[in-house]
Amino acid sequence: MRILLIEDDPGLGSAVRDEIAAEGHVPDLAPTLAYARDLVATMSYDLILLDLGLPDGRGLDFLKALRAKGSVTPVMILTAHDRITERIEGLNAGADDYIVKPFDLAELTARINAVARRYSGNPNPLISLGGLEIDLAAHAIHGPDGQIDLSQREWIIFEALLQRPGQIVSKSQIEDQLYSFDAEVESNTIEVYVSRLRKKLGKDVVHTIRGLGYRLGTP
């Protein structure tokens, strides 16, 4: 997914861009509104992340101009904690969602995915996978023998794979999803969870690539 990040803070900009890229999206970073205008004139984006305070103008004015031109690209605004009026104004100007600084990068990812799902014509995706019907938003799985329930941790791991079909997700990436920053996991917890997912959902739902990680099975 093509994502344009309009953010002048170099540190935040880099961190967010790297996170978006790590999630498999294709990010562009514009530190100014002028550059952002050039980009949206020539590129087609699936989502825009918009900071409201830019060095060469107001993010809000950029957003209004975008909507005035008829663009329906989803826009998520980045706002400071105490800027409530600004937030409301942004939503009124046509933003689809907002996230409050400072934010956790994992939360940003989840929010991005949520906005993208809402606006890609697939707001509540059912995913078909090898005889399973999966409803991510409702955490519901329907298999050939009926409803299948996963525990919270099992869902976290399964979603980590579902969000990256075709990609290898390393054990350390899964650990990062499950535990707080830098927590050391001492045993083969991940393997046991994967085994349980296989038991509940079928042995082909997760493929192991030895030494690298796991990958979602092919539908």
Partner DNA sequence: AGGTGGCGTTCAGGTGGCTGTCAGGTTCAC
Partner DNA sequence: GTGAACCTGACAGCCACCTGAACGCCACCT
Out of 83, 111, 117, 153, name the contact with DNA by CB under 7 A. Answer: 153
Segment lying near DNA (by CB under 7 A), choices 19-27, 103-111, 117-125, 201-209: 201-209
CA neighbor of 106 nearest in space, from 48, 166, 176, 169: 176
Out of 38, 56, 212, 218, name the contact with DNA by CB under 7 A. Answer: 212
Question: Of residues 121-160, which lie at the interface with a second copy (CB under 8 A)?
Answer: 121-124, 135, 137-140, 142, 146-147, 149, 151-152, 155
195 is an interface residue for DNA by CB under 7 A = yes
The vertex-167 CA angle with 161 and 185, nearest 5°, equals 55
Site map (CB under 8 A) of a second copy, residues 159-198, x = contact: -----x-xxx------------------------------
The vertex-80 CA angle with 51 and 178, nearest 5°, equals 90
Contact assessment for residue 157 and residue 190, using Cβ atoms and an 8 Å cutoff: yes
Contact assessment for residue 49 and residue 3, using Cβ atoms and an 8 Å cutoff: yes
- What are the angstrom distances between the C-alpha of 148 and each of 130, 152, 196, 207? 14, 13, 12, 20
Residues engaged in binding a second copy (CB under 8 A): 14, 17-18, 21-22, 24, 26-27, 35, 38, 42-44, 121-124, 135, 137-140, 142, 146-147, 149, 151-152, 155, 164, 166-168, 207, 209-213, 215, 218
